[in-house]
Amino acid sequence: MRTEHTEHTECTEQSAVTVLGLGPMGRALATAFVEAGLRTTVWNRTPGKDTELVERGAVSAPSAEAAVAASELTVVCVVNYDAADAVLRRDEVADALKGRTVVNLTADTPDRARNTARWAAEHGVRYLDGAIMTPTPTIGTPHAVFIHSGPEDLYREHQPVLDALGGTHTHLGDDPGRAAAYDIALLDIFWTSMAGYAHALAVAKAEGISPRELAPFAQGIGAILPPIFEQTAEELERGDFSGDGNPITSAVSSMSHIVHTSEAHGIDAGVMRAAEGLARRAVGRGHGADGFTRIAQLLSDR
């Protein structure tokens, strides 16, 4: 694995890139390419999304096949792989892509990424997969985070153009599904955390605590997580489930207080009940004195 913290790379005026998909993220990507001085061709299924981009200097293509024919490199960023496949797998587009490179920054599952990579190989299309781990305002800034997978030599070839998107780019390996696998794991953390925060805001409100009153304390809870993530990873790799003064029985007790308070206010405690259920299962299997890392191990032991 290699990580590069990249500044905007010098791209020659000849550097050309096509962006398929002009939702909020596709527009942010295309804007970053235009601002980096790349000749940028854009296309979107529904017309009219490229007006601002064209004003900034992008070229609007009349069709996806015309768009991909304009550049050696096409970046795809649509809602999911059903959409990406609907665009890429049309005969006219596949023909125009032959010998060219696609970097698919659409989010979906690792299997879908591998499937599209197989299709690309069968059709003579050079293919890299990837995922974007940060929101649109970060694109083109040092705060953007991109992960990539697929053939490393192909990634290195197109890295100077990808660097124009700013931020950090990491190539995670040759398996085209690997970036999507990281994406899934990282979004698992994100969405369960956001569900927890939404629930916490509701319970706090029911107890007369406003969102703004809670927010600074919520940030404090968020700040204790990074060292815990690191420690849990190390413990899991060593097989150390010792609990270290914070046993699962104690976690179950804390979680049940949250469930009771929530349900006393008539607030759906489903997310917390799910977490409590995992912890209770660990206790039921005789691991009550272990630490929370045991739950990760039990989930992995299918």
Ligand X SMILES: NC(=O)c1ccc[n+]([C@@H]2O[C@H](COP(=O)([O-])OP(=O)(O)OC[C@H]3O[C@@H](n4cnc5c(N)ncnc54)[C@H](OP(=O)(O)O)[C@@H]3O)[C@@H](O)[C@H]2O)c1
Which residue, 85 or 290, is less far from ligand X as judged by CB? 85
Contact 76, 106 (CB under 8 A): yes
Which among 156, 206, 150 has a CA at the least distance from the CA of 178? 150
**Contact region with ligand X (CB under 6 A), list: 6-14, 38-46, 192-200, 201-209:** 38-46
**Contact region with ligand X (CB under 6 A), list: 24-32, 224-232, 248-256, 291-299:** 24-32
- The single-letter DSSP state of residue 76 is E
Read off the tokens for 253.
């007790």
Least distance (Å) between residue 85 CB and ligand X: 9
> Is 145 a binder of ligand X (CB under 6 A)?
no
Which residue, 134 or 231, is less far from ligand X as judged by CB? 134
> Distance (Å, rounded) from C-alpha 8 to C-alpha 173?
23
Which residue, 26 or 177, is less far from ligand X as judged by CB? 26
From residue 80 to residue 99, what is the string marking binding to ligand X with x (rule CB under 6 A)? x--x--xx------------
Least distance (Å) between residue 155 CB and ligand X: 19
Least distance (Å) between residue 144 CB and ligand X: 10
> Is 23 a binder of ligand X (CB under 6 A)?
yes
The sheet with strand 101-104 has its strands ordered as 2-5, 168-171, 145-149, 126-132, 101-104, 73-76, 16-20, 39-43, 59-60
> Distance (Å, rounded) from C-alpha 48 to C-alpha 145?
28
- Taking CB atoms, the residue at the shortest distance from ligand X is 23
Q: Using CB under 6 A, pick the residue from 34, 38, 67, 77 that binds ligand X.
A: 77
**Is 265 in a helix, a strand, or coil?**
coil
Which among 56, 268, 19 has a CA at the least distance from the CA of 162? 19
> Is 187 a binder of ligand X (CB under 6 A)?
no
Q: How many residues bind ligand X (CB under 6 A)?
A: 22
For tokens 């890429």, the residue is 88
Distances (CA, A) of 289 to 131, 152, 281, 302: 39, 45, 13, 22
Q: Using CB under 6 A, pick the residue from 9, 115, 136, 159 that binds ligand X.
A: 136
Contact 149, 174 (CB under 8 A): yes
- Strand duo 73-76 + 101-104: pairing: parallel
Contact 94, 125 (CB under 8 A): yes
**Contact region with ligand X (CB under 6 A), list: 16-24, 94-102, 257-265, 286-294:** 16-24
Contact 1, 155 (CB under 8 A): no
> Is 79 a binder of ligand X (CB under 6 A)?
yes
From residue 96 to residue 135, what is the string marking binding to ligand X with x (rule CB under 6 A)? ----------xx------------------------x--x
Per CB under 6 A, residues contacting ligand X are 21-26, 44-46, 49, 77-80, 83, 86-87, 106-107, 132, 135-136
